[in-house]
A and B are shown apart, each in its own frame.
Chain A
Amino acid sequence: MATKYETVIGLEVHIELATESKIFCSCSAKFGGEQNDHVCPACCGMPGMLPVVNKHVVDLGMTAGMMLNCHINRVTTFDKKSYYYPDLPCSYQTTQWFAPVAVNGTVRINTSKGEKDIRIKQIHMEEDAGKLVHDDWTNTTFVDFNRTSVPLIEIVSQPDLSSAEEVVAYLERLRSLLRFAKVSECRMEQGSMRCDVNLSVRPEGSKVLGVRTEMKNMNSISAIERAIEYETARHIDAIENGTEELVQETRRWDDIKGKSFAMRNKETAGDYRYFPDPNVMPVCIDDEWYDGIKATLPEFPEVKREKYINELGLGEYDADLLTESRALCDVFEAAYAESNLAKESANWIISNCMKVLNRKQMTPDMLNIDGKSLGKLIKLVADGKVGNANARKILDEMFENDIDPEKYATENGFIVSNDTGRIQDVINAVVAADQKSVADFKGGKEKALMALFGKCMKELKGNCDPAVLREMLLKTIQ
Chain B
Amino acid sequence: MDREILRRLEKLNQLQLTEEQKDSFLAFYAKQTEEMAILDSVDTESVERMVHVMPIYTVVREDKVIKKYSREDLQKGAPETTEGYWQVPRLVE
User: What residues make up the interface of A, taking CB atoms closer than 8 Å to B?
Assistant: 19-21, 26-28, 34-37, 39-41, 44, 46, 52-58, 75, 77, 82, 84-86, 98-99, 132-135, 138-145, 271, 273, 276, 280-284
User: What residues make up the interface of B, taking CB atoms closer than 8 Å to A?
Assistant: 12, 14, 49, 51-52, 56-69, 71, 74-75, 80, 82-92
B85 close to A52 (CB less than 8 A): no
A134 close to B64 (CB less than 8 A): no
Q: Which residues of A contact B56 (CB under 8 A)?
A: 281
Q: Which residues of B contact A36 (CB under 8 A)?
A: 71, 74-75, 84-86
For the complex, give the distance between the alpha carbons of A306 and B76 in Å. Answer: 60
Contact of B63 among A35, A54, A139, A283 (CB under 8 A): A54
Q: A27-B65, A282-B51 are in contact. Are A134 and B86 (CB under 8 A)?
A: no
For the complex, give the distance between the alpha carbons of A19 and B91 in Å. Answer: 31
Determine the main DSSP class of B at the interface with A: loop
Q: Which residues of A contact B67 (CB under 8 A)?
A: 26-28
B90 close to A52 (CB less than 8 A): no
B85 close to A86 (CB less than 8 A): no
Min CB distance, A7 to chain B, in Å? 31
For the complex, give the distance between the alpha carbons of A282 and B60 in Å. Answer: 11
Q: Which residues of A contact B69 (CB under 8 A)?
A: 39-41
Q: Which residues of A contact B68 (CB under 8 A)?
A: 26, 40
Min CB distance, B81 to chain A, in Å? 9
A132 close to B91 (CB less than 8 A): yes
Closest 10 pairs between A and B when the two form their complex, measured CB to CB: A142-B85, A56-B63, A281-B58, A55-B60, A284-B57, A26-B66, A143-B86, A282-B51, A35-B84, A28-B65
Min CB distance, B42 to chain A, in Å? 19
Chain A residue at minimal CB-CB distance from B87: A140
For A27, A36, A84, A98, the residue with the greatest tally of chain B CB atoms inside 10 Å of its CB is A36
- Can you list 8 A-B pairs with a CB-CB distance of less than 8 A? A21-B63, A26-B64, A26-B66, A36-B86, A37-B71, A52-B61, A138-B87, A276-B51
Can you add 16 more A-B contacts, CB < 8 Å, to A35-B85, A77-B51? Answer: A34-B71, A35-B83, A36-B71, A36-B86, A40-B68, A52-B58, A132-B91, A134-B92, A138-B82, A142-B87, A143-B85, A143-B88, A271-B12, A283-B60, A284-B57, A284-B58
Min CB distance, B89 to chain A, in Å? 6
Min CB distance, A95 to chain B, in Å? 15
A141 close to B58 (CB less than 8 A): no
Q: Which residues of B contact A26 (CB under 8 A)?
A: 61, 64-68
B51 close to A280 (CB less than 8 A): no
Q: Which residues of A contact B49 (CB under 8 A)?
A: 98-99
Min CB distance, B60 to chain A, in Å? 4
A141 close to B71 (CB less than 8 A): no
For the complex, give the distance between the alpha carbons of A84 and B91 in Å. Answer: 11
Q: Which residues of B contact A139 (CB under 8 A)?
A: 90
Min CB distance, B55 to chain A, in Å? 10
A273 close to B12 (CB less than 8 A): yes
Contact of B85 among A27, A144, A281, A284 (CB under 8 A): A144
For the complex, give the distance between the alpha carbons of A400 and B53 in Å. Answer: 55
For B74, B75, B85, B90, the residue with the greatest tally of chain A CB atoms inside 10 Å of its CB is B85
Q: Which residues of B contact A140 (CB under 8 A)?
A: 80, 82, 87-90
A44 close to B82 (CB less than 8 A): no
Chain B residue at minimal CB-CB distance from A267: B12
For the complex, give the distance between the alpha carbons of A282 and B53 in Å. Answer: 11
Min CB distance, B52 to chain A, in Å? 5
Contact of B74 among A44, A132, A273 (CB under 8 A): A44
Q: Which residues of A contact B87 (CB under 8 A)?
A: 138, 140-143
For the complex, give the distance between the alpha carbons of A77 and B57 in Å. Answer: 10
For A57, A132, A141, the residue with the greatest tally of chain B CB atoms inside 10 Å of its CB is A141
For A77, A145, A281, the residue with the greatest tally of chain B CB atoms inside 10 Å of its CB is A281
For the complex, give the distance between the alpha carbons of A271 and B14 in Å. Answer: 13
Q: Which residues of A contact B57 (CB under 8 A)?
A: 75, 281-284
Contact of B51 among A21, A39, A99 (CB under 8 A): A99
For the complex, give the distance between the alpha carbons of A132 and B91 in Å. Answer: 9
For the complex, give the distance between the alpha carbons of A139 and B92 in Å. Answer: 10
Contact of B88 among A37, A75, A86, A98 (CB under 8 A): A86
Min CB distance, B67 to chain A, in Å? 7
